[in-house]
Structure 1
Amino acid sequence: MRRFCERAQAVLSGGCLALTLISPGLGVSIAQADEPNPAAPLPGSELDLPPEVIEASPVLQRWLEEVPDVGAEIRQDPSFHTRLRLGYSQLNGVDGFYLGVEDVFAGETALTVSADYRQNGDREAYGADLQYYLLPLGNTVNLAPVVGYRHVELDDFSQDGVNLGLQVRIVPSRTAGADLTLSQTWVAPFSDSRVSLTEVGLGYAVTGKLRVSTDFQWQSSPQQHDRRVGIGLEWMP
């Protein structure tokens, strides 16, 4: 009996399956061990890399801890950047200049802030707007409602107040190498003397930080219609 029991005791596959025959009268006991082998290597430890290489690479450390969702990051990583703008403008044949900042991100949200100032002769235009992008920031095409404040001057009168509208942005290059922006807004939209602002902007990168941009703007009010053309430089911090 003793010899029979000793031959019936076995441990297979390093402890993964244990088969024990206690005695002919008591039957068979089978245990499946699901717990991992404590001697198994930790994730990433099989990489033949010096410890200092891993410590010097935040990206490698992150991938060793958890494989990121690269597709989701691409969709959320903005395809456009904050830009500082300075350039020449012409309004109805009158020379001038403009300066401003575009798309300052509010943290990691889809909300951005833009502001600008333009002067042509004795006529000024300035304002600040909020844009909230409705689609993932990494999209090639995006749509954003615009709300802000704007002051515009025409030959016969000036108008200021709430600026409401919509912006469409097309970014064929994720590195901000080129983009096209279309916007339509109205200054003091609920008044009889509201001013319509239609703008088309083009930007093209000449270096990793510097871009050349052009914009065309049409101002329309019940009293008159104006056209503004601008060309300048954009710096991406």
Structure 2
Amino acid sequence: MIRFRCSWGVLLLSIAWSAASWLSLEVLASSEVRAQASSASTAVDSVGGEQPSLDLDPDTLDSSPVLQRWLQQTPDIADEIRHDPSFRTRLQLGYSRLDDRGGIVVGVEDLFVGNTGLTVGADYSQHGKRQGYGAELRYYLLPLGSYANLAPVVGYRALETAGEDTDGVTLGLRLMLALSRTGAADIAVSQRWIAPGSGEAAGLTTITVGYAVTQQLRVGSELQWQTIGDDHDSRVGILLEWMP
């Protein structure tokens, strides 16, 4: 049996490393956006600007919304790249061990609400007679195309440990590091407080790492630490993730 114990030192170290990574990734992201935007602008100029003379069949132009859009107005490629999400919605199914108990985990991560930074997450786990479940809203503060993003979290969660259980309103923060765009690889670090301010307040720290093996299928690993009062539990699991 592998036991994990979380300390604020570990969490602060993770956040410090993530913040340093964010600075370098944002610089690389800005360079990539400028390069792609410059390339797109050059391509537009090469065909004659806003009113290019293209030797194309009229039927081809009529059947291509992309060509029609570019002929009417050159899009802001840099802005589109910056706001195109660097991570994707994931449906999860996995196996995990909570202390000495094996169990299942199912969930959905970052279901986008329209073209906004608001997403929905929900999960359910069962290990023997112990269950845990919750749902939450996350609002990403930076443009969705950023390689690093931070989201306040609000929701509801029920949690059971070996000695105690609790449920109530959940508040927290989520740090998303998109190591490669379109869900190819990312790291998520979340800190949640359940029923804060009450006598049954609990803390929940989760680190998830995912890596794509196909365009829609990923494998991931999850580490989680649960604390209610003086009672501590830890969970480690492996996940299969489907990106619709």
What interval of TM-score do these two structures reach, taking the shorter chain for normalisation?
0.7 to 0.9
Question: Aligned equivalents of 1:42 and 1:81: distance in 2?
Answer: 34
Question: Aligned equivalents of 1:132 and 1:95: distance in 2?
Answer: 33
1:152 aligns with 2:159: yes
Question: Aligned equivalents of 1:183 and 1:106: distance in 2?
Answer: 20
* Structure 1 unaligned regions, length at least 5: 1-40
Look up the equivalent residue of 1:222 and give its one-letter code: G
CA shift, 1:221, in A, is: 1.6
Look up the equivalent residue of 1:104 and give its one-letter code: L
1:141 aligns with 2:144: no
Identity of aligned residues (%): 55
1:175 aligns with 2:186: no
User: Which residue is 2:234 aligned to?
Assistant: 227
State the TM-score, normalized to the length of structure 2.
0.78
User: Which residue is 2:109 aligned to?
Assistant: 102
1:89 aligns with 2:99: no
Deviation per CA, 1:14-48, whole angstroms, max 9, x where unpaired? xxxxxxxxxxxxxxxxxxxxxxxxxxx99545111
Choose from 123, 126, 130 the match for 1:123.
Answer: 130
State the TM-score, normalized to the length of structure 1.
0.80
Work out the number of aligned pairs and report it. 197
151-160 vs 50-59, greater mean Cα deviation: 50-59
Question: Aligned equivalents of 1:52 and 1:79: distance in 2?
Answer: 35
User: Which residue is 1:166 aligned to?
Assistant: 173
Structure with the higher helix share, 1 or 2: 2
Higher Cα radius of gyration: 1
RMSD: 1.5
1:132 aligns with 2:152: no
Look up the equivalent residue of 1:122 and give its one-letter code: K
Question: Aligned equivalents of 1:164 and 1:78: distance in 2?
Answer: 24
Structure with the higher strand share, 1 or 2: 1
Question: Aligned equivalents of 1:126 and 1:202: distance in 2?
Answer: 20
Deviation per CA, 1:169-220, whole angstroms, max 9, x where unpaired? 1002112100000010111011122110011000000000000011100001
User: Which residue is 1:56 aligned to?
Assistant: 63
User: Which residue is 1:68 aligned to?
Assistant: 75
Choose from 207, 211, 216 the match for 2:214.
Answer: 207
Report the CA distance shift for 1:127/1:142 in structure 2 as closer, same or farther (over 3 A).
Answer: same
Question: Aligned equivalents of 1:173 and 1:212: distance in 2?
Answer: 15
* Structure 2 unaligned regions, length at least 5: 1-47
Moved over 6 A (4+): none
Look up the equivalent residue of 1:90 and give its one-letter code: R
CA shift, 1:59, in A, is: 1.4
Q: Does 1 or 2 have the higher relative contact order (CA < 8 Å, sep 6+)? A: 2
Describe the SS at the equivalent of 2:162: coil
CA shift, 1:88, in A, is: 0.3
